[in-house]
Structure 1
Amino acid sequence: MSRVDLKVVLLGNAMVGKTSLMERYVHDSFNGNRPYQNNRLNGREGVIPINPVEIMPQTIGTVFAAKRVQVNDVTLIMGIWDTAGSEKYDAMTRTYYRGAKAAIVCYDITKSSTFQRAKHWVRELRSIEENCKVYLCATKKDLCDEGFVSDDPDIQSVVERYASGTQTKLFVTSSKTGENVVELFDEIIQDFVSNPENLQKVEEAIVLSKKTGERYCCAI
């Protein structure tokens, strides 16, 4: 699968659940059994979490996945770039903004600091890639459903006011249960196809690839 019509980038702090979100959507799967590398939590080695939080290994660099989606009579290929969340990879992450039609900015619903960092990515995206639509995604809702208490009980009301003020669509998701994951990506797809210019480019790319037999992909 070499052609990409709809480029989506996943942004957010390390360990907020970006990879799990992608795996749930692309493969409809969730792996909560993989241990976090070095058993490190909150900067302390060898600490086992008291609460039943599923710890996943960090993404190093960028991971790519693609999925075919059917919209009316058109088959789109969505490419998803899962970027590393560590600040030391910021320069690399910015290179994946180019040509992105959508960005999912994730934060951990139980950790308010990850939302503060998410606001940085929203600002940066809108200053660098003006045509990229931004979607704010709260992850790990299942933890709240299971009684896990956020470090800031008011975090969601703060996020909702921010989303409203910045005209950013907000989705509260759980990759573990699948709640609102498909709905998030469906919204991205519908926003993309609602722009006739996007559909025209997709049709032109399909025709070109059939005529020339050459591979077509987005930048990066």
Structure 2
Amino acid sequence: MSGSRVDLKVVLLGKEYGGKTSLVERYLHDRFHGDVPYQNTIGAAFGAKKVDVGDRTVTMGIWDTAGSERYEAMSRIYYRGAKAAILCYDLTEAASFDRVKFWVDELLKNEEKCKIYLCGTKVDLVEDDKKNRKVDYHETTDYGDSIKAKVFETSSKTGSSIKELFSSIAKDFVEDPTNSDEESSPKTLDLQENRTRQKGCCS
């Protein structure tokens, strides 16, 4: 499908197995694959969804990027021009939040106009057993305040807070006056540009 119009480009970044693909699957298709492992994303996978914000309909283009460090350079291609970035980290793995800080630095250096959203995934595992939590909520909110980022804790298994995350992104985009200029008008994207889809994701 090429030539689709996208108002708002959203990119997901974070460590591999951090829950990015499950998040997109739940939001776009309202499904969760449970214990069935995903094939690693190579490059990026794309999906789109229309979101109503007041009397305006925004077409959100969502890029799910590869989390492996060997695809870092490729991920930089996909966050170019993004208006929002969801930085995912696994609440049960401390190292995944350290990786988020790497991507924050990247975005602040290269995409100053990109609004950042911190997204803790797998909150259902934490709710099942508080001992599973390896990323402190107050640490993430303090860090979020320091970079002017909103923080969400989500579960792709239950769907918790996922619609709220994407609705907040769309609402912030519409309410930001800098997005009403010509530069931010709807663009026609060639969705067949250099990328490899993950099998079964974001179609």
Normalising TM by the smaller chain, what interval? 0.7 to 0.9
C-alpha distance after superposition, 1:98-145 (max 9, x if no partner): 110000000000000000010010111011000000000000000011
One-letter code of the match for 2:31?
Answer: S
Match of 2:157 among 176, 186, 189: 176
1:34/1:57 contact within 8 Å kept: no
Aligned pairs, how many? Answer: 190
Deviation at 1:163, TM superposition (A): 1.5
Q: Whose Rg is larger?
A: 1
Say whether the 8 Å CA contact 2:179–2:185 is kept in structure 1: no
Structure having greater relative contact order (Cα 8 Å, sep ≥ 6): 2
The one-letter amino acid of 1:34's match is V
Instruction: Supply the AA of the counterpart residue of 1:176.
Output: K
Counterpart mapping for 1:116-155 below 5 A: 116-147=98-129, 149-150=131-132, 152=134, 155=136
Task: Tell me how far apart the structure 2 counterparts of residues 61 and 76 of structure 1 sit (CA, whole Å).
Answer: 25
Q: Aligned equivalents of 1:195 and 1:82: distance in 2?
A: 24
SS at match of 2:12: strand
Q: In structure 2, what is the Cα distance between the partners aligned to 1:64 and 1:26? A: 11
C-alpha displacement of 1:217: 2.6
In structure 2, which of residues 1, 13, 16 is the aligned counterpart of residue 14 of structure 1?
A: 16
Q: Which amino acid aligns with 1:93?
A: S
Query: What is the CA-CA distance between 1:75 and the residue it aligns to?
Result: 2.1
* Residue segments in structure 1 that go unaligned for 5+ positions in a row: 36-55, 206-214
1:102 and 1:132 in contact (8 A); partners too:
yes
Residue 92 in 1 paired to residue 74 in 2?
Answer: yes
Instruction: State the shift of 1:76 in Å.
Output: 1.5
Structure 2, unaligned stretches of length 5 or more?
A: 194-203
Percent identical pairs in the alignment equals 52
Q: Cα RMSD over matched residues?
A: 2.3
